[in-house]
Each structure stands twice: as structure tokens, then as C-alpha cells.
Structure 1
Amino acid sequence: MTDLQECRRKIDEIDNQMVELFEKRMKVCEEVAEYKIHTGKKVLDPEREHAKLEEIRKKAHGEFNELGAQELFQQIMAISRKRQYQLLTEHGPKEEEDFQMVEELPRNNVTVVFQGVEGAYSYGAMRAYFEEDIKSYHVKLFRDAMEEVAAGRADYAVLPIENSTAGIVADIYDLLTEYNLFIVGEQVLKVEHVLLGLPEAELSDISCVYSHPQGLAQCKEYLEEHRSWKQTAVSNTAAAAKKVSEEKDRTHAAIASRDAGEFYNLKVLAENICKNDSNVTRFIILAKKPVYENNSSKISVCFEARHESGTLYNVLSHMIYNGLNMTKIESRPIPGKTWEYRFFVDFEGNLRDSAVKNALRGMEAETSYLKILGNY
């Protein structure tokens, strides 16, 4: 019978030798980095790496070992690149920074646009984030709000990006790559939906309910208790309240905020209609200029990478090796590229941090497209 302890002793001995060789290899990689710093040569050489991996694969014996050796050296090479990026950040030429740090964003005497109408949750998020002495106005579509900021007619736009119950607002993610705008802040707002009707209406009168698709989704359980009601999606929750107020049909109701009900003189027919007590929506504040406050602690990026096995891991591993905590990842289809995706990632950090600079340098070098959406 095989002696397990003897096998473990042999493995330990081999592992010690591997660590010693690994450190020797990394020392040479540092010399390579020094050469590249002086010559301006890129860290990643895909053709050489591919050829090297094929060569290593052929040296192994058996299909399992061939794949294993290839995977092992892929990781060793990735670690080598990360060390080189680190040295480039420390000793290489300083890269021009696109983002400007400011002590604090102005929250008064500015012009702010939001999607929807007064009484909408976006309106509430705007009031929570900014001071009272601002100029504000509403537009119909998310795209319209983006256009206003891009054209310089508004300083900021307030738009919802995700809800804790219904998930992301996909249109916002797509628009973030279409427009050259930047996230400079965020506001989390507790969403407390109520069912609103005309002052003379009763719950038993209702046969049709209006709301934003997210509002309908967030109150799905409540609506399932009233299967006979017709559900109609509108542009936002406050628009639903406005519609009920204007139509003056006692059989129509809206899922919206209590503030919207007061604004449009509607009656609360039912409370607590969202079964999730922790139902919150996160709103982003968008600006035309890439600025960030000195105490910003969250970074949002989007990127595209080669449609190959292991590519996504390699990109995200730059955060792991630099000790950065990823808090969110989403994917969206890339128009015109079937089954290929653009990734959106949030992680903790500030653009001044060396760890962040190292990670972003590596991610930019190993993606086909990278955009820093904001630091806030």
C-alpha cells in the first residue's frame, strides 16, 4: 500500500523547489519590466504568450497534463504581468489623468434635470442629494436627460440605475456607454409604494393600475392578489399618478409614492404593497466633466474583452492582486456582436490610490475597451 506520509513529503519537497524557481522567474520578470520601462514596449505580447503556451503544452505528457500545464503557466504569466504593471506605475512615465479631483461638488446654484415628473422617485432623489436653491426641470426619457447634460443645458442628471427588488435599469447601463458622461455621485432612496386612487374611489372599485415597469415588478406579490386588475406600464410612477388624476376614472389606480399622491391630490387606497421592507433604489448623479471628490470611495468601470476562455477572470484578477474589493458586476449584450457582452464593474477605491492605478493599468492593457465611468 502507498505510504501517504511519504507521498506528502515528496510533494512538499517538490513544492519548495517550485517556490524557489517561481521567485527566480519573478526576478527575471522584474528585469524585463525594467527593459520595458526604458523602451516603452508593452507588457502584454499576445503572440509570444500564445507561442510559449503551445510550446509548454507540447512538453507535457498526456491530455490532462497538457491542459494542466497550460493553465498553470497562463496563471504564472498573468502574475508576471501584474508585477510588471506595478513596477510601471511606480517607476514608469506618469500617465496623464483624465479625472480631476475636487474638494466637494457644488450642490447649490446648479441646474439639475431628472426623468419623470415632480413627485417621481427621481425627483425625491434629486431633493435628497442637492440643496434647495437649485434650478430643476424634468424630461420624458432617460436619453433626454443624458442629452440635456451632454449639451450643457443642465449641470447634472439624476437617473435610477438599480433597485434592490427589481434589479438593474438596463437602459441606463446602455446609455452610459453611448454618452461621454460621468458618474459623480449617488443617492440611495427608500422606495415606499402605495396604491393611489381618486378621492372618491374605494379599493373595490379598481380594475386598472398604472405604474412604471419597475413599480409593477416591485409590487408583483400584491398584484397577484388582484389578478383581475389590468396592469399598464407608463414612463414613471409619478406619471402614473398624474394619469389617474387627469383621467378622473374611479376604476383606475396608480402605484407610486405618497408624495406623488399629495402632489396630484389622490387618495391612498392601500399601503405597504411592496412586500420587501428593504426596497431601495440607487440613483446616479451624472455630469459632463470627469471629476471626483477627494473622499470618493467607489469606482465604476465598463469594459469589453476577447471572447475567449479565461479572459474575464484575467481582467478581474487585477483587482484581486491589488487588494481591491469588487462590489458589483453586470453584463449587457454588445450591439452587433451576437453572444458577446460588455461588463460593468463597481469596486472600492479612489483614483489617487496606487492599488487602483495598478489595477486600471492592467485592465486597460488586457481589454479591447475600458471606460472609467466615475469615482464617487
Structure 2
Amino acid sequence: MGDLKEYRAEIDRIDRELVRLFEERMEVSEQIGAYKIENGVKVFDKTRERQKLDEVKGLAHGAFNQHGVEELFSQLMSMSRKKQYAMLEKRGAGGRLPFIGVDRLDTDHIRVVFQGVEGAYSQAAMTAFFGEDVNSFHVARFRDAMEAIAEGSADYAVLPIENSTAGIVADNFDLLVDFENYIVAEQIIPVEHVLMGIKDADLSSVRIVYSHPQALAQCEGLFQAHPDWKAEPFGNTALAARKVAQDGRKDEAAIGSAFAARRFGLQVLKTHISDEEANATRFMIVTNQRIFRKDARKISICFELPHSSGTLYNILSHFIFNNINMTHIESRPIPQRSWEYRFFIDFEGNLAEPSVKNALRGIREEAINMKILGNY
């Protein structure tokens, strides 16, 4: 039995040979890529790769080595594909993405739809992005808003997509798949709950507080400090504010935004009432046009994957090889297909960048039903 130094020297020798063979393999892969470009052959040949994996797996001895060889060659072929995708882009054969870059969004003479009622956080997000004087209307459901821009009765829709404490708005992820509408901007609104009442009310007069159940739960400390107050769940924060304004009773108050208080002519009785101060909601600005601002820095996509081992790992490797920073990943069950999932990913970049085009080409070829949801 030899000593450790001898074993390590032997490993070093083998590794040098592996590197030499790897570079030799990549040179041949580049020649294959050139052939594919010249003859219009797709980079990803799933059948050929499966045959190759079965072949090399059969050359190894023992279950452990067979599994290891399969994983090793799976990654080798993945790297070869990425090399060939980069060649396509470099030679101008990558094709054009179906999105048009614009210097700015058209916000003149537009109509905007938001989900909810007057005074809702969605309306606050809309006015923060488009201004107080924007021509707008509101609808009851998220789907109604998406249908409004799909049919052209509105130019833009403002919809919540994620809250920093409550998580994603799952329905809106699914709607991005159902409609040919695209994210062109986002607006983040701090969720800063206040207690509001009519002009003659004060803290000593309050006996009942209305709000959305989630908002009530986020202000538990307020009710602990006022054990004689009754928390009454209501449809949403804006409707709660409207009820208090319409009832005109000093013993009623609502929890919601200062924006809602202004909208319904209420006075703010107490600010900073949330238990969690770092709370914000991210809203997406959506349109039916395939456009993106030329200075956009975030991209959202979704895709489905074959139900087999390693598929998600291989897809995510396209971000690594192209030095792209992925910022968010979410999975959603696919309707009518039990135990199958669709993935939603946000990452940094612009659709005009070669590295982004390269990554998206690879993902499009290897995933199922990839869709670019927007660049914003």
C-alpha cells in the first residue's frame, strides 16, 4: 500500500489528462456547433444525448460508478450545448426575441385599470407610478384587470405580485401564463398601516376597528394595548375605510393606508401601528404589448420541465454559465396536471444583452413552454 503523497500525485496526473481530454472534446464540440449553424440543425438533440448517456453508463462498472459517469457526461454535454448556443449568438444566428426596446413607456393619454376599490393599495401604487391625474378605473378581480388590457379597454393594469411578509400573490402568477400580457415596470409600495376615524373621533372614543384579516393580524400589538377594542374582519382595508366614513360614528375606526384616509376624508388617529415595520408590496405594471424599456434591469420568465431528475439543475446552470444573477424562483402547480409544476424566475439583465439572449435560447430549447413575462 502506497503513501498519501503517491496517491495524490497519481490523482494529479489523471486530472491533467482529464483537462487535456476535456479541452479536446470541447474543440470537437465547437466543430459540431459550426456544422449545426451552417446546416440549420438544432443544438439540443434530446434523443442523441439520451443514447449517449446510456452508452457511457454501460462502460462503467458498479452502480455507483455508472451513476457518476451518467452525471459527469450529462454535465459535459450541457457545457457543449452552452458553447454552441454562444456560437449561435456570436455569429448572429441566434434569432430575435419577440420584444421591442423603447426609450420610455407611453404614458400620455392612457387609461389604467387596478384591482380593488377606491383607496386600495393598488390605487396608491398606480398614482405613485402614473401620477394623481391618470385616467383610471377599478375592477373586482385580478382576472378582470388582465382581461381589460387584453381587450384594449385599458392600456396598463396595476396588480400586486408579492408582499415582503405574506409572500406571493399566487393568482397573479397564474394569470401571467393565461394571458398574452407582459410586465413593463414595477412599483414597490411600503405597507404602512394607520388607524383612521372620522374628524371628531379620537383614540378614547374607538370601540370597534374594521380591516382585512391580514391587516388586523399585522397590528396585533395595537389591540394588546387596547384590550377593550373589538377587531372586526372586513373585505379589504379600503372598504373598511369607506364603511367608517359612511357610518360617521366616533366609535368606529379602520386600519389601512394614509392614502385611503385621504380618499375618504378620514383623519389619521395613529401612525406606525404595524408590528412589522419592514413590510412592502411589489406591484407589476402590465400591458398587452411586447415591449421593454432599453434601460430595464430585471427579467421574469416561466417554464415547465420534464418530470425527470436533474432537469431544474440543468436549466439553472444557464444562469451560472452566463454570469447572470437570479433573484427569485417560485413554483406553482400546473392546473389539471397533478404533481407537475411550473417555475417562475426573476433575474437581472436586459433582453438586448448577448449573455441574456444566450441563456434564454438554452432555456427555451431545453424547457417546455418557456415564456418571457417581461423585462422591466
TM-score scaled by length of structure 1: 0.92
Query: CA offsets per residue over residues 3-50 of structure 1, 9 Å max, x none?
Result: 222222111111111010001101111111111112222211222211
Residue aligning to 2:113: 113
Which residue does the alignment assign to 2:149? 149
Q: For the structure 1 residues 6 and 48, does the alpha-carbon distance in structure 2 shift closer, same or farther, using more than 3 Å as the test?
A: same
Larger deviation, residues 49-58 vs 340-349: 49-58
In structure 2, runs of 5+ residues without a counterpart are none
Moved more, 57-66 or 149-158: 57-66
**Residues 208 and 119 of structure 1: CA distance in aligned 2, closer, same or farther (over 3 Å):** closer
Please list the CA deviations of residues 318-347 of structure 1 after superposition, one character each: whole Å capped at 9, or x if unmatched.
Answer: 111001000111111100111211111111
* Residue equivalent to 2:10: 10
Tell me the equivalent position of 1:232.
Answer: 233
| 1:190-201 correspondence to structure 2 within 5 Å | 190-198=190-198, 199-200=200-201
Q: Distance in 1 between matches of 2:278 and 2:37?
A: 51
- Residue in 1 aligned with 2:56? 56
- Change in Cα spacing, 1:295 to 1:92, as seen in structure 2 (3 Å) is closer
Partner Cα separation in structure 1 for residue 341 and residue 223 of structure 2: 34
Q: What are the within-5 Å matches in structure 2 for residues 1-376 of structure 1?
A: 2-91=2-91, 93-198=93-198, 199-200=200-201, 202=203, 205-207=206-208, 209-211=210-212, 214-216=214-216, 218-219=218-219, 229-234=230-235, 236-248=236-248, 252-376=252-376
Question: 2:143·2:175 contact (CA, 8 Å) conserved in 1?
Answer: yes
Q: CA deviation at 1:257?
A: 0.4
* % identical aligned pairs: 51
Instruction: Indicate the larger mover: 132-141 or 31-40.
Output: 132-141
SS in 1 for 2:14: helix
Matched residue of 1:50: which SS?
Answer: helix
Quote the Cα distance in structure 1 between the aligned partners of 2:274 and 2:194: 8
Q: Is the 8 Å Cα contact of residues 242 and 264 (structure 1) preserved in structure 2?
A: yes
Task: Name the TM-score, length of structure 2 as normaliser.
Answer: 0.92
Amino acid aligned to 2:191: V
**1:166 to partner: Cα distance:** 1.2
Q: Give 1:207 deviation, angstroms.
A: 4.4
CA-atom RMSD, angstroms? 2.3
Distance in 2 (CA, whole Å) between partners of 1:64 and 1:221 is: 56
Contact kept in structure 1, 2:113 and 2:145, CA below 8 Å: yes
Aligned letter for 1:111? R
Cα distance, 1:132 vs structure 2: 4.4
* CA offsets 1:87-137 (integer angstroms, 9 cap, x no match): 112225352431011111123331111112232211111111114443112
Q: 1:127-152: per-residue Cα shift (whole Å, max 9, x none)?
A: 11114443112212211111111111
Q: Residues 11 and 305 (structure 1 numbering): CA distance in 2 closer, same or farther, change over 3 Å?
A: same
Return the letter of the residue paired with 2:156: Y
| Distance in 1, Cα, partners of 2:333 & 2:123 | 30
Do 2:207 and 2:229's aligned partners in 1 also have CA atoms closer than 8 Å? no
Give the number of aligned pairs: 374
- CA 1:221–1:98 in structure 2 vs 1: closer, same or farther (change >3 Å)? farther
